Amino acid sequence: MLPPDPDSLDPQDWDAFRAQSHQMLDDMLDYQQQIRQRPVWQPAPDSARARFAQPLPRAPGALADAHASFLQDVLPYAVGNVHPGFMGWVHGGGTPVGMLAEMLAAGLNANVGGRNQMPVEVERQISRWMAELFGFPDTASGIFVTGTSMANLMGVLVARTQTLGVAARQQGLQGAPLVAYTSAAAHGCIAQAMDLSGLGTAALRRVAVNARQQIDVAALAHAIATDRAAGLRPFFIAGTAGTVDTGAIDDLSALAALAAREQLWFHVDGAYGALGMLSPQIAPLLAGIELADSLAFDFHKWGQVPYDAGFFLVRDGARHMAAFAAPAAYLRREARGLAGGSPWPCDFGPDLSRGFRALKTWFTFKVHGAERMGAAIAHTCALARYLAERVQATPELELLAPVTLNIVCFRHRGVASGDGDAFNGEIVADLHESGIAAPSTTTIGGKLAIRAAIVNHRTRAEDIDALLAGVLRFGAARLS
Ligand SMILES: *Cc1c(COP(=O)(O)O)cnc(C)c1O
């Protein structure tokens, strides 16, 4: 037998490597199992940052040393969304199962851009499951992407190609005055999609919302009519299923009917809310989602799949492919062998090389099952209602927005004469630095709100209690 090749990047001593890898796996399982004993978040000290300001390592180093650096300088200073006290923004909590599947995917080192391979079939399986979940027809197509920001951009691109014809991919817009619509409560990445696609943010109408933060459908119809009268060309409506600020869900059935009447593409940004379909209690709130032409959502939020795992689902797979497949490359595909199996994932999006995001998602569904995943989602909503009730029962606090799903916006009343926005902002920073809880802030009706988005399957009532106790304690300390 030949001696190990000193230039290979494989371990020279597999037995030692195995022992170290078991230690690494154990450390990460400990992190997940014992997460409650840690602060939600703590700032990274300058010493840790300094150790990440070193020149490129030229010579080999020990795996154990690299891992020790990770444990000392990286792991304690992450965002903290694994922690049940993390309630900022909309971040998923991840799972140990997802973590293991991610390791398997990396070991296989699958490039899921295309070719005749089973990992592509795993992704197609997820796509069929999602068509089933959302009531899309068999002709639907789906693809993993980084996140909903990318999926929303792809929604705009598919709608543009559908509206102007595939020639637009070659000739560009040629001055076509396309106009798109979404609500004032929509995520900023819808405007970004207009920017990146070359249509321009000025061609996006941000329609007013009602008191429940849902798009005002009558105002939308009026805006479309006004634009048509001005010679513009409406083409795209983006509804939201779960707004990022308050969790509001647009009237998707009404939007679908309006889009059908006006012959516009109906896209739904369901970044976190769409997977509410997994819960029998929440699914009715999403009625109409089955009528969307395209849907963007994330498995990495309410689905608890480790980052990143965004998804783009299109009702008519042919329209989806028409926006992205490169005709020349497509025609060169083989009927047999490793270059067979067309169409490939790269025909449905801008990425050629792509990781195996489907595997961690497949493992998550196989191991936990859709029902339990739905129950975990419903539980976050129950906790949000509990938090809202407690806010309303506490004289020092006020609720700033109705609770539709899992997001609660509230604030400490402070004192009438003080600057309530700065005061509440300081309370949130105090909470972050204490490591007790990590809500974020937003602005509701011109007031700064403490915003708790309960997404993590690990969060329990005691974490809500700790959040409230912290708000009251830091509020009282600042008032005294
Ligand atoms: C999180 C979110 C996005 C952005 O999704 P990413 O996965 O972060 O790109 C878009 N829209 C809504 C409503 C969101 O909650």
CATH number at residue 445: 3.90.1150.170
**Mutational pocket test of ligand 1: of 183, 192, 214, 244, the residue with most ligand atoms within 8 Å of the beta carbon:** 244
From the list 442, 441, 438, 470, the residue with the least C-alpha distance to 454 is: 438
Atom of ligand 1 nearest to the CA of 310: 7
Alpha-carbon gap, residue 394 to 411, rounded angstroms:
11
Distance in Å, CA 2 to ligand 1 centroid = 52
Residue nearest to atom 14 of ligand 1 (CA): 271
pTM of the model: 0.97
Give the pLDDT of residue 331: 62
Strand partners, 398: 411
The first and second tokens of residue 259, run together, are: 């889009």
Give the pLDDT of residue 1: 62
Structural domain containing residue 401: 371-479
**Blockwise average pLDDT, block size 10, the chain, 480 residues:** 80 95 98 97 97 96 97 98 97 98 98 96 98 98 98 98 97 96 98 98 98 97 98 98 95 98 98 98 98 98 98 98 85 83 94 97 98 98 98 97 95 87 97 97 94 98 98 95
- Cβ of 147 less than 6 Å from ligand 1: yes
Alpha-carbon gap, residue 172 to 175, rounded angstroms:
8
Number of domains in the chain: 2
Q: 206: helix, coil or strand?
A: strand
Residue 262 belongs to domain with CATH number: 3.40.640.10
Give the pLDDT of residue 358: 98
Distance in Å, CA 158 to ligand 1 centroid = 19
> Would residue 58 count as lying in a domain?
no
> Would residue 152 count as lying in a domain?
yes
CA distances from 89 to 187, 403, 431, 439, 455 (A): 12, 15, 15, 7, 9
The per-type count for the chain, helices as H runs and strands as E runs, is 15, 12
Residue nearest to atom 5 of ligand 1 (CA): 148
Same domain for 317 and 194?
yes
Alpha-carbon gap, residue 332 to 335, rounded angstroms:
10
Same domain for 252 and 344?
yes
> Would residue 37 count as lying in a domain?
no
Distance in Å, CA 271 to ligand 1 centroid = 5
Distance in Å, CA 127 to ligand 1 centroid = 20
Give the pLDDT of residue 445: 87
CA distances from 218 to 185, 241, 251, 258, 349 (A): 16, 18, 12, 10, 34
- Cβ of 148 less than 6 Å from ligand 1: yes
Same domain for 434 and 293?
no
Distance in Å, CA 404 to ligand 1 centroid = 17
